Amino acid sequence: MKRKSFRILFSLRKGKLLKKKEIKYVKLDTAAMEYYMRLTNFYSQFRAIGVNYNQVVKHLKTVFTEKMALAMLYKLEKATRELVAINRQIVDVTKEFEEKWLKRE
């Protein structure tokens, strides 16, 4: 979102003084807004995965034997590493988007 302001000078007829009026306008970047709305939605889903992760680990500890729980935790750990890699890619893409399209003026 870019904000700019400028001043307009106008005069009234018959020799009256100039009056100054400041007008402000806001330019909305709909593509950036859409990107950030989707990114926020994705982040909330990512957090939900983290909450579910904790619940799954607790459930594995209580229901399964230690050997079976360790095997399942290994698979869960592998999937978590994949999610971390995806998260890093998202951060990189977001930084690139901000540098390329959201230049501050």
pLDDT single digits (tens) 57-85: 888 889 999 899 999 999 999 988 998 89
Res 93 pLDDT > 60: yes
d(C-alpha 5, C-alpha 25), whole Å: 6
Output 6 or 62, whichever has higher pLDDT: 62
Model pLDDT for residues 29-57, shown as the tens digit of each residue: 788 888 888 888 888 888 888 888 888 88
Distance CA 92, CA 15 (A): 60
Cβ within 8 Å of residue 36, ≥6 positions away: none
For the chain, what are the domain ranges?
30-101
Query: What's the confidence (pLDDT) of residue 81?
Result: 92
